[in-house]
């Protein structure tokens, strides 16, 4: 059974906005990650800090612009649980992949590839959960 055209358009608009916000948030995340590692912070704490900065950026913009939601205690708690889960997934994947990739391809490739894989998994999970559970109308 197909969805009504208006619902498909809403999904398409939300997805495009979510990706745009994701690109901006990923730039914040990766920029902070790069700076912290460049100045000597280890890869796991650097990723943890950069994740919080990027995720905060994404939440604040996505809540209003992408999903058109107002803040509520229920949605805030839902986002905290979701972001706590994706924090473990994203930082965990980065921490596992980075040393392995570093030993094969060096610093820059390891940093970029581990970041992209971890970010991709977290972004997919975040969109699905936010659209279907947290910010559904």
pTM more than 0.85: no
Task: Render pLDDT for 98-118 as a digit per residue (tens, 0 to 9).
Answer: 999 999 999 899 999 999 999
Q: Is residue 123 part of a domain?
A: yes
Q: Which two tokens stand for residue 71?
A: 């803040």
Q: What is the pLDDT of residue 3?
A: 47
Q: Is residue 6 part of a domain?
A: no
Q: Is residue 53 part of a domain?
A: yes
Residues 29-49: b if buried by 16+ CB within 10 A, e if exposed: bbebbbebbeeebebeebbbb
Q: Is residue 56 part of a domain?
A: yes
Q: Is residue 122 part of a domain?
A: yes
The most distant pair of C-alpha atoms in the chain lies apart, rounded to whole Å, by 54
Q: Is residue 3 part of a domain?
A: no
Q: Is residue 30 part of a domain?
A: yes
Residue 106 structural domain: 17-63+70-134
Q: Which residues contact 53 (CB under 8 A, 6 or more apart)?
A: 28, 29, 32
Number of domains forming the structure of the chain: 1
């Amino acid at each position: 059974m197909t969805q009504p055209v208006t619902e498909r358009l809403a999904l398409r608009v939300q997805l495009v906005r979510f990706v745009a916000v994701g690109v901006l948030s990923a730039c914040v995340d990766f920029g902070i990650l790069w700076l912290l590692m460049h100045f000597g912070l280890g890869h796991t704490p650097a990723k943890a800090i950069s994740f919080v900065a990027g995720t905060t950026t994404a939440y604040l913009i996505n809540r209003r612009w992408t999903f058109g939601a107002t803040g509520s205690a229920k949605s805030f708690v839902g986002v905290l649980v979701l972001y706590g889960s994706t924090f473990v997934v994203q930082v965990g994947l980065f921490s596992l992949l980075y040393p392995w990739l570093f030993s094969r391809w060096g610093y820059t490739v390891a940093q970029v590839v581990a970041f992209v894989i971890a970010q991709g998994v977290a972004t997919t999970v975040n969109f699905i959960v936010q659209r279907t559970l947290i910010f559904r109308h």
